[in-house]
Chains A and B, each alone.
Chain A
Amino acid sequence: MQIIQILWERRAFFMTCLLEHIRISLTAVVCAGVLGILLGVFISGHKKLAGGVLSVINVIYTIPSISLLGFLIPFTGIGNKTAIIALTVYGLLPIVRNTYTGLTNVDAGILEVAEGLGSDGRQILLGIRIPLALPVIISGFRNMVVMIIAMGGIASFIGAGGLGAAIYRGITTYNMTLTAAGSVLIALLALFSDWLLARVQKAVNRRYGIE
């Protein structure tokens, strides 16, 4: 009850935070998405590099988020830019791994037929492998989006905006309700995005005849 009350009373503040949160997350999602898919496609074509690249990304993933933000401050300062970089780096793991797994798990027999029928490398990648890997790539994308939105809450500890600002302010002023309200909004934003992407996934599956 208190949470709804505070959300209503300070709606202008929460709206600013929410929009800022969306902006930061969306930027990171686009960066990590583009970079991650390209990297995933690249290592699926260069299997010798795949193990190394995936382990490096795995190691980065194990760095606690708060210390990654700390490491970045000397290089990129405080604020949204650093937050977006950190979120992008974290977001890479699920999307690279799923893109790679999806692309490498396509039935070898189907790929051989595609080649035997006269497709060139580009046609096999764009016409066969990527469409067949799409369900796996999209579920990696969903993971990534939810993770970036949730982690975006920490970004305000290094002076970035977003709903983390509400949480942070709540903690420093012993205002539990404020902290809870910020957290609930982050959770709702993550759930909503996930739901939206689930719809996209369904539409894609229908387009490609998967039930």
Chain B
Amino acid sequence: MNKAIEIRNVSASYGDHEVLRQITLAVEKGEFLVIIGPSGCGKTTLLKMINGLVLPVEGEVLVEGERLSACDLTRLRRRIGYAVQGAKLFPHLTVEDNICYVPGLDKKLSKEDRRKLSVKMLELVELPAELAKRFPRQLSGGQKQRVGIARAMAASPDILLMDEPFGAVDEITRRALQGELLALQKKTGITIVFITHDIEEAFKLGSRILIMKDGVIWQEGKREELLHAPRDGFVKQLIGGM
């Protein structure tokens, strides 16, 4: 079993509008998959299928070999990290409490455990330990995003889902965050599915890139494959500057 995620013939719709059409996709363990496409192409919906925030109308999703339709979603989600644009930290909790949120869902952590965990996670995302007692509104955009990643990683998940996590930070911070994320993935071997609409970001991060359009996978492959054999004008235009 070396597939982290398997999506089989999945379709989804909001009302009459079909957002995903017969998507089939497998993600290997340790892979860094980047999904890119214009807004409305269904990439966020596809990501939310993996942690069951959106349920397919047909088809099947498997995470680590477990069928989502037949497992306890709440339990499964605790093993999948989730980071989103703007971080969406819990504003009423300190950085430490945000980081300890997921491990704290299963059992009450001791004060010492919480401190240790937050120190460890802050170090992982290259933030000073003093930030632990701050509230989210006292952080900069880049710091928030880092804490968001720390929160997603705190329970040592095998899979990390990221929905345009660097979309709301400035260019310089974004580059730094991208570098750190790559290093972090190398260190932990975690499987990452990452959404972006920035082709430069996709090429920098992805070990495989998946281009979506109108609810289908338009083309996928490693960056060289996309560069040398773009499927059509749409892909050519998308990767034009690269």
Contact = CB atoms under 8 A, between A and B. Distances in A.
Interface of A: 107, 109-110, 112-120, 123, 128, 131-132, 208-211
B97 to A, nearest CB: 10
A107 B88 contact: yes
Nearest to A205: B92
Given A118-B76, A132-B92, 18 more contacts: A107-B88, A112-B84, A113-B84, A115-B53, A116-B51, A117-B77, A117-B78, A117-B105, A118-B75, A118-B80, A119-B105, A123-B105, A128-B90, A209-B91, A209-B93, A209-B136, A210-B91, A210-B92
A209 B135 contact: yes
A119 B103 CA distance: 11
A109 B92 contact: no
B74 A112 contact: no
Contact of A117 (B82, B94, B135, B136): B82
B92 A208 contact: yes
A116 B90 contact: no
Contacts of B138: 209
Nearest to B152: A117
A120 B106 CA distance: 10
Contacts of A208: 91-92
A114 B51 CA distance: 12
Interface string B54-81: 0000000000000000000011111110
Contacts of B203: none
A110 B75 contact: no
Contact of B86 (A109, A116, A118, A132): A109
Interface-centre pick from A112, A113, A120, A128 (highest chain B CB count, 10 A): A113
Given A132-B92, A208-B92, A209-B135, A117 B84 contact: no
- Judged by DSSP, the binding face of A is helix
- Judged by DSSP, the binding face of B is mixed
B90 A118 contact: no
Contacts of A210: 91-92
A109 B82 CA distance: 12
Interface in B130-165: 135-138, 151-152, 161
A199 B80 CA distance: 41
Given A118-B75, A118-B77, A210-B92, A113 B136 contact: no
A115 B51 CA distance: 10
B102 interface: yes
A110 B84 CA distance: 10
Nearest to A207: B92
Nearest to A123: B105
Contacts of A113: 82, 84, 88
Contacts of B76: 118
Contacts of B78: 117-118
A118 B84 contact: no
B94 A209 contact: yes
Interface in B148-185: 151-152, 161
A116 B92 contact: no
28 contacts: A107-B88, A109-B84, A112-B53, A112-B84, A112-B88, A113-B88, A114-B90, A115-B77, A116-B51, A116-B53, A116-B82, A116-B84, A116-B161, A117-B102, A117-B105, A118-B76, A118-B78, A118-B102, A118-B105, A120-B74, A123-B105, A128-B90, A132-B91, A132-B92, A208-B91, A209-B135, A209-B138, A210-B91
Contact of A118 (B74, B91, B92, B94): B74
